[in-house]
Each structure stands twice: as C-alpha cells, then as structure tokens.
Amino acid sequence: MLFTSDYSIKMPIGEALLRSALGITTVISILAVIALLILLVSKIIRGIEAKAAGQKAAKAEAAPAAAAPAGIPMPAGMNQGELELVNTDEKTAAVIMAIVSDKSGIPLNRLSFRSIKLMEDKK
C-alpha cells in the first residue's frame, strides 16, 4: 500500500517518473486522436458542401430566369396611379423607373411612383 498512517505517499522516484510519463503520454495520444477525428469530420463536411454547391450551381445555370425574383404583372392598360415630374424630363424618369424595376424584380406596372424630382448639385 502506498499511503501511510500520516497520509503521505511513499513511492520510489523511478516509479513516480514512470507514472508521470505514462499519464502525459496518455493525454497527448488522446489529444492526437481527437485532432485526427476533427480533421476527418471537417473533410467529410467540406466534401458534402462542395457537392451541394456544385448541384446548386448546375441548377442555377440550367434555369437562370427562374432564379430572378419576378412579380405578377398587372393586365395591360392598368397602372398604379399618377406620377408627378418635378424638374425632370420624361426620358430621365423612364430610365429611373426602369432601373428601380430591374433591381427590385418587381414589374414596372406594379410599382407606384408618386413623384420624381431632380435634385440640384451643391458645389
């Protein structure tokens, strides 16, 4: 028995060093196994993500029009209201409305423009 009546440990220095080395070796080997498992799991996940990204890219190339957001256009001749142009010509207003429609993906006759005003440049 290692313990004595005064709770001290009587162990030869060689045995103490051997147990310490065994404990450190055990901890380091377990950490190495955990590191290898993490590497393995990360490679598996990267492979799955790459496969999913490849399938998503193939679908996007196959149907580019379906990926763009699209609204339902109103019947021909119907609109959302009146437009007031302030210091702006009709061509400039048409370009602005077309850009907003294109960037938002909403059909032009579904958008409601109340006024378009030309701002003065302050220098």
106-122, pLDDT tens digit by residue? 887 777 888 888 887 77
58-105, pLDDT tens digit by residue? 776 765 544 444 556 666 666 556 778 888 888 988 898 889 988 988
Long-range pairs, 105-111, Cβ under 8 A, ≥24: 105/68, 105/69, 105/70, 105/71, 106/69, 106/71, 107/70, 107/71, 107/72, 107/73, 107/74, 109/73, 109/74, 109/78, 109/79, 109/80, 110/71, 110/72, 110/73, 110/74, 110/80, 111/80
Question: Model-level pTM?
Answer: 0.41
Q: Calculate mean pLDDT across residues 40-62.
A: 86
User: What's the pLDDT at 105?
Assistant: 84
Token readout for 86 is 């302030």
Taking Cα atoms as reference points, which of 4, 2, 28, 5 lies closest to residue 16? Answer: 2
